[in-house]
Structure 1
Amino acid sequence: MELLHSGKVRDVYADGDDILLVASDRVSIYDVVLPTAIPDKGKILTQLSLWWFEQLADVVPNHIISATDVPAEWAGRAVRCERLEMVMVECIARGYLAGSGLKEYEKDSAVSGVELPPGLIEGSKLAEPIFTPTTKVAPGEGHDEFMTYADVEASVGADVAAELRRITLEVYRRGSEVAAAKGIIIADTKIELGLAGGSLKLGDELLTPDSSRFWAADEWKPGGTQRYLDKQFLRDWSSSLTGWDRTAPGPEIPDEVVEATRNRYVEVYERLTGDAWR
């Protein structure tokens, strides 16, 4: 097999006409891969993504060929996938205001050109979910920038742009309904879409603690920090450090923070799927 790409978290290999997507235990924040791994993270992301792909199979097809036809050393953390021509737009849906979306709102009273009402604060629930795409920048080449819907149309054409928006919002809507029944708020999520045979398919991961903000619903309260069940916990830990400017190399993660981060990944997997993490 040929290594095609080594990303912040996943490695991509070519195997004939297929690709193998292998999720590592690496963790990145602010586009920097930290030197400390989170045990089982790659397997949790892979298994949770597979669960979501199955739940949402009627919304949009995905790139999965097999979760078992992979080398034994990668069992549980690798999937055999169809090759997609990835769309160079990060497709993001937001139902709550947090993170970069909050910063953009505070600056412009809008996110990705979508005007929002005044008076919203951190953690505010939006009247309806919004599509807030960004550019897709390669690691080490800067940061993603917000795009307006008109920018997306100019980049991929009106028909594909409409489908990107429709799929992203429907994935968010359906995922949020499932999560809400398990006591979890999905504040926002990012999905990857690519073309195969002229049709859009989901790729990469889906509704994981790396690609989404998960909050404990019973503790949600606008105006402050939520109880995160995702890697925002790790970002908040790093913000307490002195002397790190969010550039490589990243800081080592203390054992207790590693354990607390892993526990959140396990908790969200178990609450969503109803299965105990093995």
Structure 2
Amino acid sequence: MSIPQTNFQFDGQTGFYRGKVRDVYHFDNHPGGPLLVMIASDRISAFDVVLPRPIPYKGQVLNQTAAHFLRATADIVPNWLLDVPDPNVSVGLKCTPYPVEMVVRGYLAGHAWRQYRAGYRTLCGVALPDGLRENDRLPEPIITPTTKAHEGHDQDISRDEIIGQGLVGETEYTQLEQYALALFKRGTDMAAGRGLLLVDTKYEFGAQNGRIYLIDEVHTPDSSRYFYADSYEANLHSGSPQKQLSKEFVREWLIANNFQGKAGQTIPAMADEWISQISTRYIELYETVTGESFLKADAVDPLSRIEDNIRQALAKTYV
């Protein structure tokens, strides 16, 4: 049984927000400080649109992958995570998010390649050299930030625009850049140990009591793209598509079926077999990236399981 959405009511709950993938419960008056409870549903989005059918175990993959990397990067930057009381649930500090996402790219792929192929040689204020091919490694990782959109599409934006518009102060933004590049370096090293290349990813940051925290997910299939290292060079030289672990295969399927989230376009029907393939690919990413076996959570009554585990977590006092 999949988890398309949740609609719980908890004692002390002060707010609720349903994102593209996560259901977020707010507890502003919790002992020890404001908390968020994030439930990773099985919803899947692409081109900033939530697709009509959930993907079994996708939420569990997302939640457990994010927790794995949050714990593995806590020495670089403090993060919001306090507890994982359920395979689909994370509990953490409630921070005020910065209104930008820090996208770090080590290779010319995905959106960056589509822009480059269209003739652009500057992306988010970052100059790119001529003569690059799809999936080429960039001379060094670059940051191509986007604005955070609650609805609709995120928009590319440059460092100068972010600072000039007062979205983030220059001192804080410089710190976000340093954190993002250090996280990407750690993610790259961890991926290499698993035979993977971390191609690109996004980081979100927030603040609480004047301190910057890494928030949301980290190095998950929804936020990152990975190539397999052993076939990268051969595929690059032959012009063959890279074997990758990411959500890009879903985007490519949608593009092939004439959908890119644009006005007037219709989301193509998703057959049971395709849903099963997506679920299998997500589980493959978890096991490949973390090196751990994926243990499917009890799916008989997942909503009751999640609700019970959250109630037990809320009885704790997090300091």
TM-score w.r.t. length of structure 2: 0.80
Q: Structure 1: which 5+ residue stretches go unaligned? A: 69-74
* 1:238 lines up with 2:254 in the alignment: yes
* 1:28 lines up with 2:49 in the alignment: no
Give 1:45's aligned residue: 62
Deviations along 1:186-242, one digit per CA (max 9) or x if unpaired, are 110001100112111111111000001112222223344222211111111112225
Kept after mapping to 2: 8 A contact 1:194/1:201: yes
* 1:54 lines up with 2:71 in the alignment: yes
2-side partners of 1:170 and 1:152: how far apart? Answer: 21
RMSD over equivalenced CA pairs, Å: 1.6
User: 1:129 offset after TM fit, Å?
Assistant: 0.3
Give 1:85's aligned residue: 96
* Aligned AA (1:50): A
User: 1:249 offset after TM fit, Å?
Assistant: 6.0
User: 1:272 offset after TM fit, Å?
Assistant: 2.1
* 1:148 lines up with 2:151 in the alignment: no
Kept after mapping to 2: 8 A contact 1:122/1:224: no
Match of 1:256 among 267, 270, 273: 273
* Aligned AA (1:239): I
Distance 1:239 1:103, change over 3 A: closer
Kept after mapping to 1: 8 A contact 2:47/2:260: no
* 1:226 lines up with 2:236 in the alignment: no
Kept after mapping to 2: 8 A contact 1:123/1:224: no
Give 2:184's aligned residue: 172
1-side partners of 2:90 and 2:64: how far apart? Answer: 10
1-side partners of 2:82 and 2:71: how far apart? Answer: 12
Determine what percentage of the aligned residue pairs are the same residue.
Answer: 37
User: 1:256 offset after TM fit, Å?
Assistant: 2.3
2-side partners of 1:13 and 1:250: how far apart? Answer: 29
Residue 229 of structure 1 aligns to a residue in which SS?
strand
Give 2:107's aligned residue: 96
Deviations along 1:124-149, one digit per CA (max 9) or x if unpaired, are 10011011111112223xx2222111
Kept after mapping to 2: 8 A contact 1:34/1:252: no
Match of 1:108 among 100, 115, 120: 120
User: 1:13 offset after TM fit, Å?
Assistant: 0.5
Kept after mapping to 2: 8 A contact 1:91/1:134: yes
* Aligned AA (2:205): L
* Aligned AA (2:103): I
Match of 1:182 among 194, 206, 215: 194
Residue 91 of structure 1 aligns to a residue in which SS?
strand
* Matched pairs, number: 269
